[in-house]
Structure 1
Amino acid sequence: MKKDKIIYWIATGILTGVMLWSAYNFAFNPEMKGAFAHLGLPNWFRIELTIAKLLGSLALLIPFVPAKLKEFAYFGFGITLISAAVAHLSSGDSILIEIGHLTFFASLVVSYLYYHKLHPKLV
């Protein structure tokens, strides 16, 4: 059980760390407006993603958040990572960018599976 908790918290830490870092950059890095324009995305979507990543990270990190809310956070992060990969590939960016997306998606899957392993009766 202790090993499972360690794996869960490492995977969840990687996932939420990346999402929080991304939200920080979206909010405070002026170059992000250009990056979103490069991907063909409107500026309001940058703001929406910033808020969603903050709320989703909090949902996964705070232990007493209801399981249903955690499920929404996992699902939202999954859609975000898949959509980011599609957006980058569609705009002609290097396929090497997808190594990061795949790594973070793997962290999401591990976190999700171990969450359910540690809380089998929830959801």
Structure 2
Amino acid sequence: MRTLKITYWISTALVALMMIFSGYSYLTNETIKQAFHHLGFPDYFRIELAIAKIIGAVILLIPIKGKLKEWAYAGFAITFVSAFIAHTASGDPINNRIGPVVFLIVLFLSYFTNQKRQADIS
């Protein structure tokens, strides 16, 4: 049980910190703004995605049960898959494509350990 809890918190913290950092960067970093234009996304999407990432990260970190946390996991999964597709379609180098895949794996680890923890608690 202890290993499960540690694995859950490390993986969840990694995803949440990355999402908070990227959300903040989306709002403040001019290079990120240019990257969104390179990928063909409008500026308002960058702002919406930044806000959604920050809210989703907070939801992952707070101790709540129910569907809200499930929606945060689903939203991040869609975000990571979409990022991989966007970078691939734009012809970006492999190092730009691999990051979303790595974080998708970490997200799955967080999700499945969370499910196991909830089942053990019930």
Question: What amino acid is aligned across from residue 49 of structure 2 in structure 1?
Answer: L
What is the aligned length? 121
Cα distance in 1 for partners of 2:51, 2:119 equals 29
Cα distance in 2 for partners of 1:68, 1:49 equals 20
Counterpart position of 2:27: 27
Deviating beyond 4 angstroms after TM superposition, the runs of 4 or more aligned structure 1 residues are none
Counterpart position of 1:81: 80
Structure 2 unaligned spans of 5+:
none
TM-score scaled by structure 2?
A: 0.94
Q: Is the 8 Å Cα contact of residues 8 and 109 (structure 2) preserved in structure 1? A: yes
RMSD between aligned residues: 1.4
Cα distance in 2 for partners of 1:94, 1:38 equals 13
TM-score scaled by structure 1?
A: 0.93
Q: Identity, % of aligned pairs?
A: 46
Cα distance in 1 for partners of 2:119, 2:80 equals 26
**CA positional deviation for 1:98:** 2.2
Question: What amino acid is aligned across from residue 2 of structure 2 in structure 1?
Answer: K
When you count helix as a share of all residues, which structure comes out higher? 2
